[in-house]
Amino acid sequence: MNAVLSIAWRSAWSRRGTLALVALSVALSTFLLLGVERLRSDVRENFAQSVSGTDLIVGARTGPMQLLLYAVFRVGGATNNVRMDSLQAIAKHRAVAWMVPLSLGDSHRGFPVLATTPAYFEHFRHGDRQPLQLAQGRAFSGDLPGLYEVVLGAEVAERLGYRLGDKIALSHGGGEMPGAEHADKPFTVIGILRRSGTPVDRTLHISLQAMEAVHLDWVAGVPLPGMKISAEQARAADLEPKQVTAALIGLKNRAAVFAVQRAIADYEAEPLMAVLPGVALDELWDVVGNAERALLAMSAMVAVVSLAGLVAVVLAGLNERRRELAVLRAVGAAPRHVLLMLAIEGAMVTLLGVALGAAAVALAIVALAPWLQSAYGITLTLSAPSAEQWGLLGAVLAAGFLASLVPGWRAYRLSLADGLSPPV
């Protein structure tokens, strides 16, 4: 066994050029397979961590996923707003502990602006019921003197290089129309949140009243011609919002969640809906799950192709090694030693490939994590492979070893047939 192992190693080393290419293709497929699985589980984890402690999300009637996507992930938009008096009526329900209205729509250099109440910082939870924490400064006060105050998510502050006291202007809508800026009403950065790994990091937070104020002289997405209300004049206007985009609701007792959900759905003055964030997330995964599985299946196919390559390369090289096999038999090796040698070779190449692939995944995570975080808000962390990921690695290894038995078996047959006289 030891003899065979060392000979197999030396023999493989002498053909290292070809075998390295095979190992590289195994590495590539491992990288794909593990990378996809890694991204899949981390993205899922990220999404699941984005909201907790909120029992219901209320919005105008739409799809539950759509409501979840814009209220929590700032993806897409609402088709209809919710009247503030409806929300206030719901907040009076005896099971409701708190209600935080959310108003979306504006942006600042690509980052979404969320208008809400100071209660947001108190009630919003992510991950394992962790509250938002301020890294610097304080939350906006929500009163008139502090009207033009903004609290930045960690990513916004870091990417745009903002510090406390900086003045910034918000853009109307997604910022796609040049010149549609609320430049006349600049905001002062008064707080920067600690990084949470959720969409909050990419959000600018202002008060609902501030949102009203910047839109006083706007109608239907354009500034009213000839009408200019200065930042100071705005303070005198009625800034109580009539409508918002959605609201987060916390209950005194979670057991009442379906009763409250029904009460909201049955609310007569306005068509509303309420979703349980966990249920909506599950629905989202059902949709995304198919794409995930397809991606994983593709990666598995790539792995199969690369292992087929391994078989083909070793098989093709076998004819040139018949002399080597005859020499081995002449010095006392049995055909089963030859089979073992080829199997060891296959196992070594696959192991090397899998190790390289896993290392490449780790390297890619380290290299790409900051970019993924800033571009997509997805936090990738370098951690030991999960049980599933070990399973994938093990499957590639096992498949590689099994695949290498094919040329091994061929060599066994050749060795039996050729004996000591291989065709020259």
Nearer to another protein by Cβ, of 15 and 235: the residue is 15
Specify whether the CB–CB gap between 188 and 150 falls below 8 A.
yes
Which residue stretch of 138-146, 192-200, 362-370, 413-421 sits at the interface with another protein (rule: CB under 8 A)? 413-421
Specify whether the CB–CB gap between 299 and 36 falls below 8 A.
yes
Give the residue from 319, 316, 324 showing the smallest Cα distance to 14.
324
Give the residue from 360, 362, 380, 361 showing the smallest Cα distance to 370.
380
Bridging pattern class, strands 187-193 and 149-152: parallel
Work out whether 320 is an interface residue with another protein (CB under 8 A).
Answer: no
Candidate residues 17, 179, 332, 423; the one interacting with another protein per rule CB under 8 A = 332
Give the residue from 192, 204, 406 showing the smallest Cα distance to 318.
406
Nearer to another protein by Cβ, of 5 and 75: the residue is 5
Work out whether 327 is an interface residue with another protein (CB under 8 A).
Answer: yes
Candidate residues 13, 258, 371, 376; the one interacting with another protein per rule CB under 8 A = 13
Question: How many angstroms separate the Cα of 342 from the Cα of each of 175, 348, 402, 415?
Answer: 62, 10, 11, 12
Work out whether 20 is an interface residue with another protein (CB under 8 A).
Answer: no
Nearer to another protein by Cβ, of 13 and 258: the residue is 13
Which residue stretch of 7-15, 36-44, 218-226, 268-276 sits at the interface with another protein (rule: CB under 8 A)? 7-15
**What is the nearest approach in angstroms of another protein to the Cβ of residue 323?**
5
Task: State how far Cα 46 lies from the chain centre.
Answer: 6
Work out whether 413 is an interface residue with another protein (CB under 8 A).
Answer: no
Specify whether the CB–CB gap between 131 and 284 falls below 8 A.
no
Length of the chain in residues, anyone?
424
Structure tokens at 178: 């040049």
Candidate residues 336, 382, 383, 391; the one interacting with another protein per rule CB under 8 A = 336
Give the residue from 125, 189, 187 showing the smallest Cα distance to 156.
189
Handedness of CA 393, 394, 395, 401 (dihedral sign): positive
**What is the nearest approach in angstroms of another protein to the Cβ of residue 332?**
2
**What is the nearest approach in angstroms of another protein to the Cβ of residue 398?**
27
Which residue stretch of 26-34, 48-56, 96-104, 322-330 sits at the interface with another protein (rule: CB under 8 A)? 322-330
Work out whether 329 is an interface residue with another protein (CB under 8 A).
Answer: yes
Candidate residues 333, 343, 399, 414; the one interacting with another protein per rule CB under 8 A = 333
Binding residues vs another protein (CB under 8 A): 3, 7, 10-11, 13-14, 323-324, 326-337, 419-421
